[in-house]
Amino acid sequence: MERQPRKQVIELLHSEYYRPKELAELLELDPYVIQRAIYDGHLKASVVGHDIVRIDREEVLRWLDDRDEGN
């Protein structure tokens, strides 16, 4: 996975929503992990058909918190 320049990462950290690829890059996860979490109902996202359109920042924070509690 190609790393983004520091400025882009900082901008992503302050975003109100993410696309799956952006979130995967930001969290250094395989995009499949993000997709699976959404389709399994663990991470809420706006989905149109089978396309994940956007993931709200608040949902990402909730999902990360839930993952930490599971460990």
- The pLDDT of residue 12: 78
CB 28 within 8 A of CB 21: no
* Burial (0-12, 13-18, 19+ Cβ within 10 Å), 20: buried
- Please, are residues 26 and 65 in contact by the beta-carbon 8 Å criterion? no
Distance of CA 13 to the CA centre of its chain: 11
Tell me which DSSP letter residue 24 carries.
Answer: H
Give the per-residue pLDDT at 5. 62
In a domain, 43, yes or no: yes
Q: What is the pLDDT of residue 13?
A: 81
Q: Note whether residue 27 is domain-resident.
A: yes
The pLDDT averaged over each successive group of 10 residues in the chain (71 residues) is 64 87 92 94 92 93 87 58
- Expressed as residue numbers, the domain containing 24 is 6-70
Domain total of the chain: 1
Q: Is residue 10 part of a domain?
A: yes
Residue 1 domain-assigned? no
| Amino acid 9: pLDDT | 74
**Residue 54 falls within a domain, yes or no?**
yes
